[in-house]
Chains A and B, each alone.
Chain A
Amino acid sequence: MQRFSRYFLVFVVLIMSGCAEEWLDRKPQNIILEEQIWNDPKLITGLLANYYDRLPYHTDLNHGSTTDAAIPNKEGWQDFAAYDEAMWSNNDDARNNIVTYAIDRWRLWDYVLVRDINLALENIEKFGTSLSAEQKVQFSAELRFLRAQVYFDLVKRMGGVPLVTKQLIYDYNGDPSYLQQPRAKEEEVYDFIASELDAIKEQLGNGGSNTRANKYTAMALKSRAMLYAGSIAKYNNLMASPISTPGGEVGIPASRANDYYAKSLAASEEIINSGVYQLYKTNPNLGENFYDAITKKSANPEIILAQDFLVSKDKRHGFTYDNIARNVREDNLSSSSITPSLNLVEDYEYLDGTSGELKTRNAGNTDYIYYNNVADVFANKDARLYGTVVYPGTSFRGTPVQIQAGVKVWNGTTSSFQNVESNTLGSTYEDGGLLTGSSGPQRSQTEVTNSGFYLRKYVDQTAMSSTRGIRSDMWWVRYRLGEIYLNAAEAALETGKTANALKYVNMVRERAGFGANSLKTLTIARLQNERRVELAFEDHRVWDLKRWRIAHELWNGNASNPDAVIYALYPYRVVRPGHATHGKYVFDKLVAPRFRAPRFFQMGNYYSSIEQLVIDNNPKIVRNPFH
């Protein structure tokens, strides 16, 4: 016993004295400490990359949403097909058959990211001892930009949300109520975004970068956010019964509309007048130029902020694999998921300024109009149509995309045409000519267009980018100058500066092939259409309709409402030997055969519901109207 105690004592002394300093104070090999991160600009940049990548998304290129019915809030590129820009032509019919939009469809409550940013802001102050003051200010500004972007995504979906700008730390006293913050007013959140962006815009640095935020990125976010706030203030109060809560968590007073529009216009003009960005006008072919303007990643002066991808770093996505036109695909599966609607195609005007409705029937509606070439019906259309949509008679990657539904054979005894269509793509009719195109359209098959069109915007032209082995590194544009011009035009129009509004919108139209000063007068409806065609498939449509408060009128769930139903265009070759029309092309407009349920947007969709768990944990949270 005596001996054991002695050894024990020696052992304890050894541990306590000699080893203690080094053995117990060693730096871990597998954990990066706060002091290490916040003193190394490279590590901080890595962390920022993570936060940029986690920014909230609704439709983008990277996230494919699920068809699982149990998951209500669908998000991801597949929901390009959930509104009126396109329908779904791949397997399953989920997006063609949305009976009503769920009230939690656009729900977002991402306080995890908010907390991470708040924590980073506090830690960079606390631990960043060897960073220069300049670096500290710049990184903090960038973090605050990201936080402002998250709050904008929160407020546009949920209305006013609690403004948490510091870490909330629980002290285990058994009463968490001091951590429970009520929802801020909707206008307070927008004001917070504006004041944050003003405070940091000169500190951001990153000049010339289009993947990290700089001064103009901050102004681009401000331009968009203030425009949203202004139009909610104006159009919500024009409704017969404005959507609001007594505490102002939802709804902005009409008196603030002008203020917000003016702020949006000022932010847009700061970008425009700086001359740092220009509309992309490199390619003399205007249609291809518009495609390049969004997809060209080098020497593109239009892009303000994009989420970039790179094949060689294995940061890539399968958007092109899933959406490329059928007969130019390089893999043996998928393709043709998002297929644009005739509704969208007809919203692209003719270059002479007339309505974009396709001319398929003669003036008296007694007969077809016969076209020599299948592409002739699209002649003289807005060049943005070519840049956005693959329509019949065009090509992708230099290969013609063959779009023909079948042939119309003249029946002399009944004096009418009979449709002949084939289930075999690229098949030949008995006269030796083409029957059904190798890219369809096809009424019931999947992985081939059902609407008669394919998507071009954001589909990668790089060789092999539509294979599963390689995939695509097409970037996702968050802000670009084209939108800023349209934001400026709208804010100017709403504040009575019509001359400026015309100037801005005409610049965007000029790039699309319209002559200089093509518009002489301007209405909000005109601008709404301009945004629809310029910004198609860039995650604007549903948000725009919400802030103008017209979504419930446009998408009213009525099968006889042409705006709520997705239409298709089916081209046919005429077989009528010996007649002048033989071999010419005619077009049928029809409700897309696989489209089932008219779009139905209800009043409860303007603001998404807050999860009951959130309300249970924080009784100060009030529910949104209609939920």
Chain B
Amino acid sequence: MKANNIHFKPFFLAMLALTALLSACEKDNRVEPKSVLTGRVVYEGQPVGLRSNGVQLEIWQRGYQLFTKIPVHVRQDGTFSAALFDGNYKLVRLRGNGPWVDNTDTIEVALSGNTELDVPVQPYFVFQNDTYAKGEGKVSATFNLKQINTTRTLERVNLYVGTTSIVDPNNNAGNAQEVAANIKDLSKPITLTASLSAALAGRDYVYVRVGVKTSGVGEMLFGTPQKVMLK
């Protein structure tokens, strides 16, 4: 009896600990959000080029005590993704945030499983027929600028050159600029030429990207980054 007791106690304690551990596991670990909302910010079905780490959308869910926005950052190619629980959400285009006309209409999102969503926007300007060329110690871009919305005016267009595909005003190794005063006629193609520094010119390739700045709008709208082979 006595010997029995000695064996029983550690066993009992071990079982107790195990029970506590197992039950705790169940309680402490919440399910992670499994459904992924992916999407694109589009104009006429085409994704819009943006600055990396610049533009965000916001997602809200009503009916819970803590009502806090879920910020969704849009990538530079205009796509975004967020891992969420299934449910009904409201997606809002933040005012004054992107290079497009403010539109704060709520987009209802019913999420069950992975969902894809296109968020339509109306940019002020878009690029068309953009082509890129290399020269001796320089690169150039030729494109048409189409004005979609006339409530704001053009401020400038830029050509940015970088060593990776992330190219924008904050991440570049060289750029060329043309201000609106020198762009008289939008029906004619515009050419921007950026001269390369010695370090850049010695590389095998560079990435280039065109951007347009609308006056009074913080963010610029960009074309697709292009890899230009120099050699």
A residues adjacent to B (C-beta < 8 A): 99-100, 239-241, 243, 552, 556-560, 598, 600, 602-603, 612, 616, 625-627
Determine the chain A residues whose CB is within 8 A of the CB of B175 once the complex forms. Answer: 560
Partner of B170, one of A552, A557, A627: A557
Are B216 and A600 closer than 8 Å at their CB atoms? no
Question: Of the 9-residue stretches B1-9, B35-43, B91-99, which lies at the interface with chain A?
Answer: B91-99
Bound CA–CA A598/B94 (angstroms): 26
Are A558 and B67 closer than 8 Å at their CB atoms? no
Q: A557-B169, A626-B95 are in contact. List 5 more A-B contacts (CB 8 A).
A: A240-B152, A241-B96, A603-B96, A612-B69, A626-B97
B46 CB → nearest A CB, Å: 25
Are B216 and A241 closer than 8 Å at their CB atoms? yes
B196 CB → nearest A CB, Å: 14
Bound CA–CA A260/B31 (angstroms): 56
Are A552 and B68 closer than 8 Å at their CB atoms? no
Let me know if B228 is at the binding interface, CB within 8 A.
Answer: no
Residue of A nearest to B175 (CB): A560
Are A626 and B96 closer than 8 Å at their CB atoms? yes
Bound CA–CA A627/B95 (angstroms): 8
Bound CA–CA A626/B96 (angstroms): 6
Q: Which of A100, A556, A558, A600 neighbours the largest number of chain B CB atoms within 10 Å of its CB? A: A558
Determine the chain B residues whose CB is within 8 A of the CB of A99 once the complex forms. Answer: 53
**Within B138-161, which residues are at the interface with A (CB < 8 Å)?**
152, 155
Determine the chain B residues whose CB is within 8 A of the CB of A556 once the complex forms. Answer: 169-170
B residues adjacent to A (C-beta < 8 A): 53, 66-69, 94-97, 152, 155, 169-170, 172, 175, 215-218
Are B169 and A558 closer than 8 Å at their CB atoms? yes
A282 CB → nearest B CB, Å: 48
Closest 10 CB pairs of A and B: A240-B216, A241-B216, A240-B215, A557-B170, A603-B218, A612-B68, A626-B96, A625-B96, A616-B67, A558-B169
Residue of A nearest to B69 (CB): A612
Determine the chain B residues whose CB is within 8 A of the CB of A625 once the complex forms. Answer: 95-96
Residue of B nearest to A100 (CB): B53
Are A552 and B95 closer than 8 Å at their CB atoms? no
Q: List 13 A-B contacts (CB under 8 A).
A: A239-B216, A240-B155, A240-B217, A243-B96, A557-B169, A557-B170, A558-B172, A598-B170, A602-B218, A603-B218, A625-B95, A625-B96, A627-B94
Determine the chain A residues whose CB is within 8 A of the CB of B169 once the complex forms. Answer: 556-558
A481 CB → nearest B CB, Å: 38
Bound CA–CA A626/B69 (angstroms): 13
- Would you call the interface of chain B mostly helix, strand, loop, or mixed? loop
Determine the chain A residues whose CB is within 8 A of the CB of B216 once the complex forms. Answer: 239-241
Partner of B94, one of A100, A602, A612, A626: A626
Determine the chain B residues whose CB is within 8 A of the CB of A612 once the complex forms. Answer: 67-69
Determine the chain A residues whose CB is within 8 A of the CB of B217 once the complex forms. Answer: 240-241
The total of interchain contacts (Cβ-Cβ below 8 angstroms) comes to 45
Q: Which of A241, A552, A612 neighbours the largest number of chain B CB atoms within 10 Å of its CB? A: A241
Determine the chain A residues whose CB is within 8 A of the CB of B97 once the complex forms. Answer: 626
Bound CA–CA A556/B172 (angstroms): 13
B175 CB → nearest A CB, Å: 8
Q: Which of A240, A559, A616 neighbours the largest number of chain B CB atoms within 10 Å of its CB? A: A240
Determine the chain B residues whose CB is within 8 A of the CB of A243 once the complex forms. Answer: 96
Determine the chain A residues whose CB is within 8 A of the CB of B68 once the complex forms. Answer: 612, 616
Bound CA–CA A625/B152 (angstroms): 19
Residue of A nearest to B95 (CB): A625
Determine the chain A residues whose CB is within 8 A of the CB of B67 once the complex forms. Answer: 612, 616
Bound CA–CA A552/B216 (angstroms): 12
A541 CB → nearest B CB, Å: 22
Determine the chain B residues whose CB is within 8 A of the CB of A560 once the complex forms. Answer: 172, 175
Determine the chain B residues whose CB is within 8 A of the CB of A100 once the complex forms. Answer: 53
Known interface pairs A612-B69, A626-B94; A600-B170 also in contact (CB < 8 Å) = yes
Determine the chain A residues whose CB is within 8 A of the CB of B215 once the complex forms. Answer: 240-241
Q: Which of B97, B152, B155, B175 neighbours the largest number of chain A CB atoms within 10 Å of its CB? A: B97
Bound CA–CA A392/B218 (angstroms): 41
Q: Which of B66, B172, B217, B218 neighbours the largest number of chain A CB atoms within 10 Å of its CB? A: B218
Determine the chain B residues whose CB is within 8 A of the CB of A616 once the complex forms. Answer: 66-68
A560 CB → nearest B CB, Å: 8
B153 CB → nearest A CB, Å: 8
B35 CB → nearest A CB, Å: 23
Residue of B nearest to A244 (CB): B96
Residue of A nearest to B217 (CB): A241
Determine the chain B residues whose CB is within 8 A of the CB of A602 once the complex forms. Answer: 218
Residue of B nearest to A615 (CB): B67
Bound CA–CA A28/B218 (angstroms): 62
Bound CA–CA A626/B219 (angstroms): 12
A334 CB → nearest B CB, Å: 33
Determine the chain A residues whose CB is within 8 A of the CB of B94 once the complex forms. Answer: 626-627
Known interface pairs A241-B217, A616-B66; A558-B170 also in contact (CB < 8 Å) = yes
Determine the chain A residues whose CB is within 8 A of the CB of B172 once the complex forms. Answer: 558-560
Bound CA–CA A241/B155 (angstroms): 12
Residue of A nearest to B215 (CB): A240
Bound CA–CA A239/B155 (angstroms): 13
Bound CA–CA A626/B55 (angstroms): 10
Residue of B nearest to A600 (CB): B170
Q: Which of B152, B170, B215 neighbours the largest number of chain A CB atoms within 10 Å of its CB? A: B170
Bound CA–CA A99/B69 (angstroms): 23
Determine the chain B residues whose CB is within 8 A of the CB of A557 once the complex forms. Answer: 169-170
A250 CB → nearest B CB, Å: 11
Q: Which of B66, B68, B96, B175 neighbours the largest number of chain A CB atoms within 10 Å of its CB? A: B96
Bound CA–CA A564/B161 (angstroms): 19
Determine the chain B residues whose CB is within 8 A of the CB of A239 once the complex forms. Answer: 216
Bound CA–CA A421/B215 (angstroms): 48
Residue of B nearest to A627 (CB): B94
B87 CB → nearest A CB, Å: 19
Residue of A nearest to B68 (CB): A612
A620 CB → nearest B CB, Å: 14
Determine the chain B residues whose CB is within 8 A of the CB of A603 once the complex forms. Answer: 96, 218
Bound CA–CA A456/B91 (angstroms): 52
Bound CA–CA A556/B69 (angstroms): 27
Bound CA–CA A243/B95 (angstroms): 11
